Amino acid sequence: MSMTKRERLQTTFAGEQVDRPAVALWRHWPGDDQRAEDQARAHLEFQRQYDWDFIKVTPSSGFTVEDWGVTEKYLGNCEGTAEHGRLAISKPGDWLMLPVLDPRQGALGRQLRCLGLIAQEAGDVPFIQTVFNPLSVAKYLAGEDILLIHLRRYPEQVHTALRTITASITAFVREVMRSGAAGIFFAVQHAQYGILSETEYRTFGRPYDLQVLEAAQSAWFNLLHLHGSDVMFDLLADYPVQVINWHDRETPPSLGDALKRTERAVCGGWRQWDTVVRGSPDDVRAEARDAIQAASGRRIILGTGCVTPIVAPTSNLKAAREVAG
């Protein structure tokens, strides 16, 4: 018996047998992401074309910091990401000057309008909004180098800013919950051993992450994305989410190993560049079958470890959807 998308996802979360594996790919929409109407249209047309099991709403990262004065410009990156120009933080004292943002105004308000438009047209297709965790937002405000220097030399100033950032994000998340979204895609970028120690992440990351996720606990579908390599999987494996996504083909743990280390469902199986961009439809199908086998067909959503590059062949996207059944 065929399941609805929500039934398929919730059955996956529960670790029970599904009619077919859930599958979703998502991408950036450079240029279109600067206007609510165009961003909504781009997501909806992508969904109509491929019929994914959920829509992951992917605005440019700049939407989180535009209202604090950060600028960005798309320069042709093949992942579809923009480059940040003017930043908001350069001196330690700048961290103390950030106001709490009103989520209904400015760039955050624009994103909420996009969600409202998607909600009107998506029907029974679940959608989740990308939310960057507070430490990632701090990076977008200052740049990676300044953030790490200040985090270690001026921790109290950074903590002050993280409290402000967290208050702004949680207010936005509460509005997202009112929009009809199924939940959030919670993007974490600094839980990598090559960037921070576990002690540093426990201090500057985890407490603020959990405050944001608390604001999303009315949702039925929250997904944690661990970006990068050598991720602190075990440190975040107990986060209150339904799904964990990371670059499983390129950095530990493997899908099979991860399912032994968390009760959450996992999302992955495809290499975003080597397979979805540079591979063939046969490569896409083979990697999907391998991922399903590694998970024994339970608690898995087929996807990539991060965004699907905007240069991915449509034949590979079509194969990704069709291989799920």
Separation of alpha carbons 225 and 272, rounded Å: 14
- Side-by-side strand order, sheet with 265-270: 22-23, 300-304, 265-270, 243-246, 223-226, 183-188, 127-132, 55-57
CA end-to-end span of the chain, whole Å?
13
| Residue 61: per-residue pLDDT | 97
| Distance separating alpha carbons of residues 310 and 325, to the nearest angstrom | 24
Helix, strand or coil, per DSSP, at residue 288: helix
6 C-beta neighbours (distance < 10 Å), count: 16
Q: Is 178 exposed, middle or buried (0-12, 13-18, 19+ CB in 10 A)?
A: exposed
The predicted pLDDT at position 1 comes to: 77
Strands 223-226 and 55-57: unpaired
Kindly give the parts of the chain with pLDDT less than 50. none
Please choose, from the candidates 78, 91, 210, the residue with its C-alpha nearest in 3D space to the C-alpha of residue 142: 91
Instruction: For the domain covering 5-323, report its CATH number.
Output: 3.20.20.210
Instruction: Report the pLDDT value the prediction gives residue 155, as an integer from 0 to 100.
Output: 98
CB atoms within 10 A of CB 14: 13
Among the listed residues 20, 6, 10, 5, the one whose alpha carbon sits nearest the alpha carbon of residue 265: 10
Distant-in-sequence contacts of 234-239, Cβ < 8 A, 24+ apart = 234/261, 235/191, 235/198, 235/201, 235/202, 235/206, 236/188, 236/191, 236/206, 236/209, 237/261, 237/262, 237/264, 238/262, 239/186, 239/209, 239/210, 239/213
In the prediction, which pLDDT does 171 show? 98
- In degrees, rounded to 5, the angle at the alpha carbon of residue 266 between the alpha carbons of residues 261 and 269 is 115
At 290-302, the pLDDT tens digits run 999 999 999 999 9
The reported pLDDT for the residue numbered 12 is: 98
The two structure tokens encoding residue 306: 């991060």
